[in-house]
């Protein structure tokens, strides 16, 4: 399954994509906030590492995704009272990117995958594609594990960086366009 580096890059990419299609650009502070929020939300499902028996279950489910939509929508409504749907949907896509990347990854733990429909189903889901290498948390400071995790992160970066750079470029092009048309 992807590392926090890959997940956070995917979350930032979601924010940049959302900004590139937005009708009116956000100011620089709001752009930074949205990017950081999306990067954080893309990593957030792995906070269940703090209690290993639930890892890859409730926080890796569509139920958690629904909770993210409601929570971010309420926060956006409370803080700004505008852009509620834009914020909630963008944050939901960022959170969902974690589920998607984990589904596309390899998993060395059994059962493999994520419980996407928790608590309604105990079925584990994982793609057979194995696009992202599995990361290893056991014996973290052994050379073999360090090399394996470094290769996993390198692969994530090779796959995700071109997509991220394209999204970042489109966002910046969109932001600069209104200023150039004056």
pLDDT digits (tens, 9 = 90+) for 108-151: 888 999 999 999 999 999 999 999 999 887 777 899 999 999 99
User: Helical H runs in the chain?
Assistant: 4-20, 28-43, 62-79, 84-104, 143-180
pLDDT on residue 182? 44
Banded pLDDT at 161 (limits 50, 70, 90): very high
| Closest by Cα among 58, 38, 40, 39 to 48 | 58
- What pLDDT score does 6 carry? 97
Question: What is the C-alpha separation between 96 and 117, in angstroms, rounded?
Answer: 13
Name the pTM for this structure: 0.91
pLDDT computed for residue 10 by the predictor:
98
pLDDT tens sequence across 36-73? 999 999 999 999 988 988 889 999 999 999 999 999 99
CB 134 within 8 A of CB 152: yes
């Amino acid at each position: 399954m992807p590392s926090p580096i890959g997940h956070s890059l995917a979350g930032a990419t979601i924010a940049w994509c959302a900004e590139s299609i937005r009708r009116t650009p956000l100011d620089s502070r709001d752009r930074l906030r949205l990017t950081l929020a999306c990067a954080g939300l893309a990593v957030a499902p792995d906070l269940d590492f703090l209690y290993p028996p639930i890892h890859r279950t409730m926080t890796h489910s569509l139920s958690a995704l629904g909770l993210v939509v409601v929570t971010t929508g309420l926060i956006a409504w409370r803080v700004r009272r505008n852009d509620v749907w834009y914020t909630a949907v963008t944050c939901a896509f960022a959170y969902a990117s974690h589920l998607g990347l984990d589904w596309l990854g390899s998993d060395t733990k059994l059962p493999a995958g994520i419980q996407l429909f928790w608590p309604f189903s105990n079925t584990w889901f994982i793609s057979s594609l194995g696009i992202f290498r599995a990361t290893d948390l056991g014996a973290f400071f052994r050379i073999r594990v360090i090399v394996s995790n470094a290769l996993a992160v390198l692969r994530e970066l090779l796959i995700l960086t071109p997509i991220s750079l394209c999204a970042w470029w489109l966002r910046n092009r969109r932001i600069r366009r209104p200023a150039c048309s004056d």
